[in-house]
């Protein structure tokens, strides 16, 4: 009886949902507005490779070497000298107050010790409260240190020049050689926006019927749970596609994100991903007693999705248990797929290992939603 | 079990959070009857109606509705029942036509467009069919809800306080419609708080605290109560009422317009007790027929309040 599906009744629910969606102007505007807002906000705002960080210099030795080193540090692009300091106490204060991110200290007698081959210490202190803000800058320092002084160390001092190791180290940054954050963030936003709006909309869909008292009437009719569920889910799949189109067009026009892969393949993956989110939203809506509770459940699901999926922070940086948790979330797999298709030009073979977990999630969440849907008011 | 019994249930029981909201409830409703459900708020009327149409699963008891088992075959019952909820439960953000159209679709009504059009005509809402249901007044909402639950030509109507908050004109119109439907062979079970409506029902059931206290026609219910009632008019009825309430033989003193209804269960004893008051100057004592209201208030006072037990 449960899976006795009537296309006519399904169509009735579907049409009703569309009409209601159209009447609810604010929600409708949100559905298109949210992706645009998030895209502009996050796309332009988030930068995981910050440059020109404020730096202070405490130079106790004003030699040509010191000047060359400071210039070299600035030339890396990560440092911008904003202050000259005169004492260590001043340096401490500047870091403590957060006025500068780095303090470069050139000790007394730096040039004399250098010329004598005593390897003097050039101290760089960083405000490393936020590791992400400083790590790239500090990594860039290492290469400066190696060759910056080669030009100044001439004649008798040539022996102090940097000697390269016996092998050559070559690094290739593939798929995003310039390390442009947007290339990573913008495709990821497709997944984040969909997770948020899809789960929220459906979680509200059924609770709204309870809150407005219309569920009693709906339950008294012959309509089956599967018809209600599919009828409520399909309109949002279409909304989801609209959102994705908006983001993809903006990604191309505003951020020039590369799109190497097959967009048709992406749209097939999208159905699966959207449906998985709708199914979990639907499950929430059968558990929640009010729209307020439904919203809370949505955020209970949305926050881990945002933080543990690899959207905000590197997935592999998390401990094993957190990675397992992350692997459960559809967003984790979708992020890998969407980044793979757009940036790496992945095909079916490459994405399959991330495709089936989404399918499995959909199956489980969908079954849960259907069994949880109460056919009575008990 | 004869063919004519549209509802035939026995021993229905429903418990919510340890409270027996419906306790050992049995009724039998014949085809084409208008069956009135009366009782104070929270007496279990709505719960009983919900169990009959499969919205709630009874904790105990058994029975049939339209020949189908109420526990196992609720899906079959739903197709043939029109259920009008106490609270307006159509979609306020859909238009009148869209609401009817939706209901017609989920019941898979044949020739849907025609059926919806006819319903709109009969309602007199054809011109306003694009108006949102949420903008309708209480009376119109009630008419719309009735039209919606008649779209699929149900054999049984379950109406849960359909006329609450509706003006007398609309109520009269509503009841005329109900009688027409009953004449066509549709069975109607209707819950109400209005005594004039109770009197329009073919049979009544009175429920208090989840228990069925009595069923029968209005006349039977009154006769069964053994109440004898006197109507008294005169000066300072308020003061008189206070005195009368202290007389043990008098079970009930109820103000009734410009008179008081004074009732007791034992006619000779009541008569003797009233002798003393009849002598009061200016009072006029007339034997009266106890009203349904008198009977019901009496029954409610007597019913053991098992909720507080």
Together in a domain, B15 and B111 = yes
**Residue A261 DSSP symbol:** S
Together in a domain, B64 and B169 = yes
Sheet containing strand A53-59, edge to edge, reads A79-85, A53-59, A102-106, A123-126
Residue at B306 is within a domain: no
- A59-89 pLDDT, tens digit each: 888 888 888 888 889 988 999 999 999 999 9
User: Helix crossing, A25-45 with A225-255: angle to 10°?
Assistant: 40
| Interchain contact, A15 vs B105, CB within 8 Å | yes
Provide, as residue numbers in chain A, all residues whose Cβ is less than 8 Å from the Cβ of B106: 9, 12-13, 221-223
Tell me what ipTM this predicted complex has.
Answer: 0.83
Residue at B166 is within a domain: yes
Together in a domain, B164 and B246 = no
| Interchain contact, A220 vs B55, CB within 8 Å | yes
The answer to whether domain A53-160 has CATH 3.40.1710.10 is yes
d(CA B164, CA B139): 9
Average pLDDT on A166-177 reads 87
When the pLDDT of each residue in chain B is averaged and rounded to a whole number, the result is 89
- Of the residues A8, A12, A217, A218, the best mutation for testing chain B's interface (the one with the most B CB atoms within 10 Å of its CB) is A217
**Predicted local distance difference test score (pLDDT) of residue B304:** 66
**Predicted local distance difference test score (pLDDT) of residue B3:** 58
Residue at B302 is within a domain: no
Tell me the two tokens of residue A89.
Answer: 């106490």
Average pLDDT on B231-247 reads 88
d(CA A2, CA A189): 37
Q: In 3D, which of A18, A374, A370 has the Cα closest to residue A227?
A: A370
Tell me the two tokens of residue A356.
Answer: 């089936």
Together in a domain, B207 and B71 = yes
The residues near A16 (Cβ < 8 Å, ≥ 6 apart) are: A231, B91, B94, B98, B102
Q: Which residues, in sequence order, are bridge partners of residue B81?
A: B156
Together in a domain, B128 and B22 = yes
- Say whether A231 sits in a helix, a strand or coil: helix
Beta strands in chain A (DSSP E): 53-59, 79-85, 102-106, 123-126
Residue A73: HSE in the Cβ half-sphere, 13 Å Cα cutoff: 27
Tell me the two tokens of residue B274.
Answer: 């009233």
Q: Which residues, in sequence order, are bridge partners of residue A292?
A: none
Together in a domain, B185 and B254 = no
- Of the residues A220, A224, A232, A374, the best mutation for testing chain B's interface (the one with the most B CB atoms within 10 Å of its CB) is A220
Domain boundary among B184, B219, B254: B219
Asked whether the predicted pLDDT for residue A58 surpasses 80, the reply is yes
CB pairs under 8 A between A and B: 75
Which domain range does residue B83 map to?
Answer: 5-219
**Predicted local distance difference test score (pLDDT) of residue A145:** 66
Asked whether the predicted pLDDT for residue B298 surpasses 90, the reply is no
Domain boundary among B172, B192, B219: B219
Confidence of residue A2 (pLDDT cuts 50, 70, 90): very low
- A233-282 pLDDT, tens digit each: 889 888 899 899 988 998 899 999 999 999 999 999 999 999 999 999 99
CATH code, domain with B40: 3.40.50.300
Provide, as residue numbers in chain A, all residues whose Cβ is less than 8 Å from the Cβ of B85: 213, 216-217, 220
- State how far residue B216 is from chain A, nearest Cα, in angstroms: 28
Asked whether the predicted pLDDT for residue B161 surpasses 70, the reply is yes
**Predicted local distance difference test score (pLDDT) of residue B82:** 94
Q: What burial class does residue A319 get, using C-beta atoms within 10 Å of its C-beta: 0-12 exposed, 13-18 middle, 19+ buried?
A: exposed
When the pLDDT of each residue in chain A is averaged and rounded to a whole number, the result is 89
Together in a domain, B133 and B231 = no
**Predicted local distance difference test score (pLDDT) of residue B280:** 84
- Say whether A133 sits in a helix, a strand or coil: helix
Tell me the two tokens of residue B44.
Answer: 């279990």
Asked whether the predicted pLDDT for residue A153 surpasses 90, the reply is no
Residue intervals of chain A classified under CATH 3.40.1710.10 are 53-160
Together in a domain, B42 and B181 = yes
**Predicted local distance difference test score (pLDDT) of residue B278:** 86
Together in a domain, B198 and B268 = no
CA nearest to A18 within chain B: B94
Q: How far is CA B36 from CA A201, B254, B302, in A?
A: 42, 23, 21
Encode A71-109 in three state secondary structure: HHHHHCCCEEEEEEECCHHHHHHHHHHCCCCEEEEECCC
Strand A53-59 with A102-106, pairing: parallel
Together in a domain, B89 and B163 = yes
Confidence of residue A1 (pLDDT cuts 50, 70, 90): very low
d(CA B147, CA B119): 6
Average pLDDT on A205-224 reads 89
Residue at B309 is within a domain: no
Domain boundary among B219, B245, B280: B219
Cα angle for residues B222, B228, B234 (degrees, 5° grid):
120
Confidence of residue B190 (pLDDT cuts 50, 70, 90): very high
Provide, as residue numbers in chain A, all residues whose Cβ is less than 8 Å from the Cβ of B107: 221-222
Q: In 3D, which of B198, B251, B277 has the Cα closest to residue B35?
A: B198
Residue at B272 is within a domain: yes
Together in a domain, B206 and B83 = yes
Together in a domain, B155 and B139 = yes
Beta strands in A87-225 (DSSP E): 102-106, 123-126
Number of domains in chain B: 2
Q: In 3D, which of A148, A153, A142 has the Cα closest to residue A115?
A: A153
Asked whether the predicted pLDDT for residue A292 surpasses 90, the reply is yes
Please give the backbone phi and psi of residue B208, each rounded to the nearest 5 degrees, phi first: -140, 135
- B243-271 pLDDT, tens digit each: 888 888 888 888 888 888 898 888 888 88
DSSP string, chain B: --TTEEEEEEEEEEEETTEEEEEEEEEEEETT-EEEEE--TTSSHHHHHHHHTTSS--SEEEEEETTEETTT-HHHHHHHEEEE-SS--S-TTSBHHHHHHHHHHHTT-SSHHHHHHHHHHHHT-GGGTTSBGGGS-HHHHHHHHHHHHHTT--SEEEEESTTTT--HHHHHHHHHHHHHHHHTT-EEEEE-S-HHHHHTSSEEEEEETTEEEEEE-HHHHHHHTT-EEEEEE-S-HHHHHHHHTT-TT--EEEEETTEEEEEESSHHHHHHHHHHHHTSTT-EEEEEPPPHHHHHHHHHHHS--TTT-
Cβ-contact A73, A145 below 8 angstroms: no
Residues 49-108 (B) with a CB less than 8 A from some CB of A: 50, 53-57, 75, 78-79, 81, 83, 85, 87-94, 98, 102-103, 105-108
- B75-98 pLDDT, tens digit each: 899 999 999 999 999 999 999 999
CATH code, domain with B255: 3.30.70.260
d(CA A134, CA A65): 25
**Predicted local distance difference test score (pLDDT) of residue B305:** 60
Tell me the two tokens of residue A53.
Answer: 């960080």
Average pLDDT on A325-329 reads 95
Confidence of residue B306 (pLDDT cuts 50, 70, 90): low
- B192-231 pLDDT, tens digit each: 988 889 999 999 999 988 888 889 998 898 888 888 899 9
Q: What burial class does residue A154 get, using C-beta atoms within 10 Å of its C-beta: 0-12 exposed, 13-18 middle, 19+ buried?
A: exposed
**Predicted local distance difference test score (pLDDT) of residue A105:** 92
d(CA B141, CA B161): 13
- State how far residue A215 is from chain B, nearest Cα, in angstroms: 7
**Predicted local distance difference test score (pLDDT) of residue B33:** 94
| Interchain contact, B85 vs A216, CB within 8 Å | yes
């Amino acid at each position: 009886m449960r899976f006795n599906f009537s296309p006519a009744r399904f169509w009735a629910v579907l049409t009703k949902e569309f009409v209601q969606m159209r009447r609810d102007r604010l929600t409708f505007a949100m559905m298109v507005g949210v992706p645009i807002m998030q895209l502009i906000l996050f796309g332009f705002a988030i930068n995981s490779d910050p440059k020109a960080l404020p730096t202070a210099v405490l130079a106790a030795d004003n030699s040509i070497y010191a000047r060359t080193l400071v210039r070299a540090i600035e030339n890396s692009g990560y440092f911008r000298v904003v202050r000259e300091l005169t004492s260590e106490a001043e340096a401490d204060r500047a870091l403590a107050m957060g006025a500068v991110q780095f303090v470069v200290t050139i000790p007394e007698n730096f040039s004399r010790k250098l010329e004598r081959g005593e390897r003097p210490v050039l101290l760089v202190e960083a405000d490393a409260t936020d590791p992400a803000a400083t790590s790239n800058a500090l990594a860039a320092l290492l290469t400066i240190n190696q060759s910056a002084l080669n030009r100044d160390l001439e004649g008798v001092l040539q022996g102090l020049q940097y000697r390269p190791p016996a092998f050559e180290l070559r690094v290739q940054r593939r798929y995003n050689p310039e390390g442009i954050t947007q290339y990573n963030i913008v495709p990821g936003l497709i997944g984040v926006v969909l997770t948020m709006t899809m789960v929220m909309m459906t979680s509200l869909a059924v609770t709204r019927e309870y809150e407005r008292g219309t569920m009693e009437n709906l339950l008294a009719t012959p309509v089956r749970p599967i018809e209600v569920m599919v009828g409520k889910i399909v309109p949002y799949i279409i909304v989801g596609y609209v959102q994705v189109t908006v983001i993809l067009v903006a990604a191309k026009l505003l951020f020039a994100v590369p799109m190497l892969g097959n967009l048709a393949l992406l749209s097939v993956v999208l159905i699966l991903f959207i449906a998985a989110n709708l199914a979990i939203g639907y499950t929430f809506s059968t558990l929640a007693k009010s729209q307020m509770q439904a919203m809370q459940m949505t955020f209970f699901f949305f926050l881990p999705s945002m933080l543990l999926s690899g959207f905000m922070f590197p997935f592999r940086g998390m401990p094993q248990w957190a990675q397992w948790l992350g692997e459960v979330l559809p967003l984790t797999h979708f992020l890998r797929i969407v980044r793979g298709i757009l940036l790496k030009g992945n095909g079916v073979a490459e994405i399959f290992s991330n495709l089936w977990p989404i399918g499995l999630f959909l199956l489980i969440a969908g079954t849960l939603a259907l069994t949880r849907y109460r056919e009575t008011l008990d | 079990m004869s063919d004519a019994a549209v509802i035939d249930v026995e021993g229905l029981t429903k418990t919510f959070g340890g409270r027996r909201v419906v306790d050992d409830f049995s009724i039998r409703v014949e085809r084409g009857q208008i069956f009135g459900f009366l009782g104070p708020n929270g007496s279990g009327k709505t719960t009983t109606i919900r169990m009959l149409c499969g919205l709630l699963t009874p904790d105990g008891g058994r029975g049939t509705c339209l020949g189908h088992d109420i526990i196992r075959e609720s899906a079959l019952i739903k197709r043939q029942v029109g259920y009008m909820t106490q609270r307006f439960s159509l979609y306020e953000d859909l238009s009148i036509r869209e609401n009817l159209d939706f209901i017609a679709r989920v019941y898979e009504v044949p020739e849907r467009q025609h059926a919806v059009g006819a319903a709109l005509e009969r309602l007199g809402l054809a011109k306003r069919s694009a108006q949102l249901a949420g903008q309708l007044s209480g009376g119109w909402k009630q008419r719309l809800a009735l039209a919606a639950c008649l779209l699929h030509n149900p054999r049984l109507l379950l109406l849960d306080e359909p006329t609450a908050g509706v003006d007398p004109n609309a109520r009269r119109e509503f009841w005329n419609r109900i009688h027409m439907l009953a004449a066509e062979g549709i069975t109607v079970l209707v819950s109400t708080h209005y005594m004039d409506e109770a009197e329009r029902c073919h049979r009544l059931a009175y429920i208090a605290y989840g228990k069925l206290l009595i069923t029968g026609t209005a006349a039977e219910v009154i006769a069964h109560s053994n109440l004898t009632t006197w109507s008294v008019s005169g000066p300072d009825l308020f003061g008189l009422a206070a005195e009368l309430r202290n007389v043990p033989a008098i079970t009930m003193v109820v103000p009734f317009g410009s008179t008081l209804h004074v009732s007791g269960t034992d006619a000779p004893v009541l008569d003797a007790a009233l002798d003393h008051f009849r002598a009061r100057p200016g009072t006029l004592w007339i034997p009266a027929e106890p009203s349904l209201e008198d009977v019901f208030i009496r029954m409610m006072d007597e019913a053991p309040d098992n909720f507080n037990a």
